């Protein structure tokens, strides 16, 4: 039996940019609902939502966290997400699991750059959106400025549901715009308040706000608007209905004022969630599709086929791997079999759990709207679709931003080298943006993420969970070498010992190939100048010698080697002798063929606000970028260019600085091209110093 009906369930995701007090708001909500026994505080390290060691160390959310509470006969599942752009994948996945989003906006700093991106994501997913203007007790708090910014930046009509009584040190409570009552709070975090009349100096502003809000609500429905224009009053039932309808349609943004840290103004928000926020039955289930493009729609009802989406994978020290799932339709009991349509496999579900921060409780049954956890699913990963029947349909998977920062990782203990990849594989199951690979040329393990903090956090988790400590450094650029002219040379290896000697003699011609043509070996030996069995040995010697070019020791590419003559000794010749002769010939030839260094060139796409474009272009030009064009995309400009990899190894932090966090970029490999002479000299000097040459 389920704990509650789908109609009485609310799924809420808490969203904001770092520092806006989103997690503190979640802690206040849980405390008021008596889901926790104390008001957890992030800075004191006792938050039930930021419980991971990495979060306590950084005093901010790194992972999304779940908790649920009961309020006014409703069950509310709360998903707290990180506000740092380094961990945006947690938000992307969380938006797939919830129906409503609460944006915590800072009353001092208003709408920060990353908030705009989070807002666009919530709009695209079709979530109902509510706003809590936090930190009304702080110096320079300005509620009206936030309302103005909502209208201008988010391009949505703000609908104040509560108004602050005072600001900064004088903030002492809120006014309920509809009830026209004031709530004066204790500042001890208890949430205690007393209801009283509206302060006389706020009566006029309240009346003006009330009239604006009622007019905005009347616009939701033609019948309501007609009644309003005729001078009729809207009943409380009319207001409640208009709030729900307008919220679902995105006609306005309900706004609440308060201080999460002092637990002031939070209860009206909690009341509104139960009264107007969407239940799982109020939203359409995402469409399921198959590989042929056919679609299947399910209804958010218990009698439907079970369907669930795995939006998060996490590791529990006791339960092992946990798959966190949003149920969209049907019901699921413990000890069931589900079909993973993403991987065409069946999975056995053991216990079904609800998460309460780092705590867990077993459930008897789940249904539409439930967010729950299942331990130790064998093949299931983040983004997979689970169904109650073996149907070849699945939910769409979200697109994640590409990793933009790359760091080389090296184990502090030599014996840990074999542990790095398996350990990082486990972390990548939980974080779909994190990537690790071994560079074939440099031999380095490359860890890729969305920024410095993202990578450093992964390293912290690697040490804590797997006992593997690594050092981070800027990765080596995979330079290559090539030649610009041709030559003919002899490679002769002759060595006489007490018994058989060694003899190999080759003549080769070395020529440049077109860029990206790689390597070509041609055998033009005729008349048995070199016996056939020794030809592969010559080629092998040539290939091995080209692994380290004459300038910086980088691989030589785009080169053609033709073996056209030579000689041998019937007794002293051997495969080894001809391999060494081939190697000697190539090394000599490369020195004479005007070698140059090639560097990798990247395609870069940068998206920035219009006002930052000049600074961004200037910065890219200083990095030897070749600008290819710009496209206007609303308030942003998209710039495309080609830029040397060496110039953008740490571009993520630089772009953040230039654009105040409002810029984004992506990189992918384009081609190799010659390095300018002055830079080539520096590269050679550094490479030889590193090799001790």
> What is the full DSSP assignment across 572-616?
TB-HHHHHHHHHHHHHHHHHHS-EEEEEEEEEEEEEEEGGGHHHH
Distance from C-alpha of 436 to C-alpha of 413, rounded to nearest angstrom = 19
SS (H, E, C) 345-370: EEEEECCEEEEECCEEEECCCECCCC
- Terminal C-alpha separation, the chain: 75
**pLDDT band per the 50, 70, 90 thresholds, residue 449:** confident
At residue 2, the pLDDT reads 67
- At the top level of CATH, the class of 288-387 is mainly beta
- The answer for residues whose C-beta is within 8 angstroms of residue 213's C-beta and 6 or more apart is 159, 160, 161, 177, 178
- How many CA within 13 A on the CB side of residue 474? 8
Helix H or strand E segment including 120:
helix 113-125
Residue 654: how many other CB atoms lie within 10 Å: 14
Q: Does the pLDDT value for residue 101 go beyond 60? A: yes
Going by C-alpha positions, the residue among 369, 381, 387 that lies closest to residue 310 is: 381
What's the CA gap between 374 and 376, in Å, rounded?
Answer: 7
Structure tokens of 373?
């956890």
Q: Do 405-473 and 599-690 show the same overall fold? A: yes
- Domain boundaries in the chain? 7-282, 288-387, 405-473, 481-593, 599-690
Checking if the pLDDT of 687 tops 90, the result is no
pLDDT at 91 over 70: yes
Strands 320-329 and 371-375: what pairing? antiparallel
What is the distance of C-alpha 57 from the center of its chain?
Answer: 20
pLDDT tens across 48-67, in order?
Answer: 888 787 878 888 888 899 99
pLDDT over 70 for what percent of the chain? 98
In angstroms, what CA-CA distances link 148 with 151, 543, 620?
Answer: 5, 67, 35
Question: What integer pLDDT is reported at residue 310 of this predicted model?
Answer: 94
Contact 145/133 with Cβ under 8 angstroms? no
pLDDT at position 367? 93
Residue 266 in tokens: 């939070």
Give residue 442's pLDDT band: very low, low, confident or very high (50, 70, 90): confident
Binning pLDDT at 50, 70 and 90, where does residue 691 land? low
Determine the pLDDT at residue 93.
Answer: 93
Backbone angles phi, psi at 383, to 5 degrees: 95, -5
Model confidence at 223, pLDDT cuts 50, 70, 90, reads confident
Would you call 566 helix, strand, or coil by DSSP? Answer: strand
213 contacts 207 by C-beta, under 8 angstroms: no
Q: How far is Cα 300 from Cα 551, in angstroms, rounded to an integer?
A: 66
> Helix %, strand %, coil % for the chain, to 5?
30, 30, 35
Answer yes or no: CATH 3.30.230.10 is held by domain 481-593: yes
Residues 566 and 580: their CA atoms lie apart, in Å, by 13
Q: What is the pLDDT of residue 347?
A: 94
Beta strand 128-134 with 253-257 is parallel
Domain 7-282: which CATH class? Answer: alpha beta
Q: What is the mean pLDDT of the chain?
A: 89
Residue with tokens 């593997």: 468
d(CA 246, CA 217): 7
Tell me how many helices (H) and strands (E) the chain has. Answer: 16, 34
d(CA 482, CA 455): 34
Distance CA 51, CA 46 (A): 7
Rounded to whole angstroms, the Cα distance separating 672 from 619 reads 22
Q: Pairing relation of β-strands 359-362 and 352-356?
A: antiparallel
What number of other Cβ atoms are within 10 A of residue 408's Cβ? Answer: 18
Helix residue ranges per DSSP H, 417-518:
417-430, 452-466
pLDDT digit string (tens) for 568-622?
988 888 999 999 999 999 999 999 999 999 999 999 988 888 888 999 999 999 9
Domain 405-473 has CATH 3.30.70.870: yes
- CA atoms within a 13 Å half-sphere pointing along the CA-CB vector of 558: 22
Query: What is the CATH number assigned to the segment(s) 599-690?
Result: 3.30.70.240
Q: What confidence score (pLDDT) does residue 316 get?
A: 74
The answer, yes or no, to whether residue 692 has pLDDT greater than 60, is no
Task: Name the E strands within 139-180.
Answer: 158-160, 162-165, 173-176
Backbone φ, ψ for residue 69 (5° rounding)? -155, 160
The predicted structure's pLDDT at residue 430: 84
**Out of 142-156, 260-274, 464-478, 526-540, which region has the weakest mean confidence (pLDDT)?**
464-478
Residue 324 forms beta bridges with which residues?
A: 312, 373
**CA 550, 556, 558, 563: dihedral to nearest 10 degrees?**
80
452 confidence band (pLDDT: 50, 70, 90): confident
Strands in 359-362's sheet, in edge-to-edge order, are 345-349, 336-340, 385-387, 307-316, 320-329, 371-375, 352-356, 359-362
Tell me, what DSSP letter sits at residue 86?
G
| Location of structure tokens 């905005």 | 216
């Amino acid at each position: 039996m389920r704990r509650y009906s789908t109609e009485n369930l609310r799924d809420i995701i808490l969203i904001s940019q770092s520092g806006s007090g989103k997690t503190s708001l979640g802690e206040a909500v849980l405390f008021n609902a008596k889901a926790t026994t104390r008001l957890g505080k992030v800075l004191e390290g006792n938050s039930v939502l930021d419980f991971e060691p990495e979060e306590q160390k950084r005093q901010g959310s790194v992972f999304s966290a779940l908790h649920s509470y009961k309020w006014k006969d409703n069950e509310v599942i709360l998903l707290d997400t990180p506000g740092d752009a380094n961990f945006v994948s947690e938000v992307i996945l969380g938006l797939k699991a919830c129906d409503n989003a609460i944006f915590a906006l800072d009353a001092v700093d208003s709408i920060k750059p990353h908030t705009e991106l989070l807002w666009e994501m919530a709009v695209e997913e079709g979530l109902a959106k509510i706003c809590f203007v936090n930190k009304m007790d702080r110096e320079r708090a300005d509620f009206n400025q936030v309302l103005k910014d909502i209208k201008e930046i988010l391009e949505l009509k703000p609908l104040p549901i509560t108004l602050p009584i005072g600001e900064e040190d004088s903030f002492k409570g809120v006014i309920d715009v509809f009830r026209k009552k004031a709530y004066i709070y204790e500042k001890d975090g208890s949430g205690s308040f007393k209801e009283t009349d509206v302060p006389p100096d706020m009566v006029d502003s309240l009346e003006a706000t009330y009239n604006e809000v009622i007019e905005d609500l009347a616009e939701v429905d033609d019948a309501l608007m007609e009644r309003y224009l005729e001078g009729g009053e809207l009943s409380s039932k009319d207001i409640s209905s208009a709030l729900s309808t307008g919220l679902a349609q995105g006609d306005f943004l309900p706004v609440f004022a308060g201080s999460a840290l002092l637990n002031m103004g939070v209860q009206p928000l909690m009341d509104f969630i139960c009264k107007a926020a969407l239940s799982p039955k109020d939203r359409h289930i995402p469409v399921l599709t198959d590989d042929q493009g056919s679609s299947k729609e399910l209804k958010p009802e218990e009698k439907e086929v079970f369907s669930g989406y795995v939006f998060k994978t996490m590791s529990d020290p006791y339960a092992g791997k946990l798959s966190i799932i949003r149920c969209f339709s049907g019901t699921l009991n413990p000890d069931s079999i589900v079909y993973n349509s993403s991987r065409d496999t069946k999975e056995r579900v053991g216990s079904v759990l609800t998460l309460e921060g780092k705590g867990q409780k077993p459930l008897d049954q789940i249904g539409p709207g439930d967010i729950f956890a299942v331990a130790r699913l064998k093949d299931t990963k983040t983004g997979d679709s689970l169904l109650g029947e073996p149907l070849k349909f699945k939910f769409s998977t979200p697109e994640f931003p590409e990793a933009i920062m790359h760091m080389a990782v090296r184990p502090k203990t030599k014996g840990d080298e074999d542990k790095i990849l398996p350990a990082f594989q486990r972390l990548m199951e939980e974080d779909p943006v994190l990537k690790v690979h071994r560079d074939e040329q440099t031999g380095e393990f490359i860890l890729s993420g969305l920024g410095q903090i993202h990578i450093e956090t992964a390293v912290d988790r690697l040490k804590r969970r797997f006992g593997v400590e690594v050092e981070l450094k800027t990765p080596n650029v995979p330079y290559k070498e090539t030649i610009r002219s041709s030559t003919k040379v002899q490679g002769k290896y002759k060595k006489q010992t007490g018994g058989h000697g060694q003899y190999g003699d080759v003549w080769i011609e070395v020529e440049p190939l077109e860029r990206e043509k790689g390597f070509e070996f041609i055998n033009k030996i005729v008349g048995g100048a070199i016996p056939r069995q020794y030809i592969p040995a010559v080629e092998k010697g040539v290939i091995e010698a080209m692994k380290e070019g004459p300038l910086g020791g980088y691989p030589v590419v785009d080169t053609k080697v033709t073996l056209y003559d030579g000689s041998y000794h019937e007794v002293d010749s051997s495969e080894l002798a001809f391999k060494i002769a081939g190697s000697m010939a190539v090394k000599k030839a490369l020195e004479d063929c005007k070698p140059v260094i090639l560097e990798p060139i990247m395609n870069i796409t940068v998206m920035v606000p219009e006002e930052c474009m000049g600074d961004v272009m200037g910065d890219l030009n200083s990095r030897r970028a070749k600008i290819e064009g710009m496209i206007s995309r609303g308030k942003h400009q998209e710039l495309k260019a080609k830029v040397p990899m060496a110039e953008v190894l740490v571009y993520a932090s630089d772009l953040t600085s230039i654009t105040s966090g409002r810029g984004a970029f992506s990189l992918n490999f384009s081609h190799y091209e010659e390095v300018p002479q002055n830079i080539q000299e520096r590269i050679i000097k550094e490479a030889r110093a590193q090799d001790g040459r």
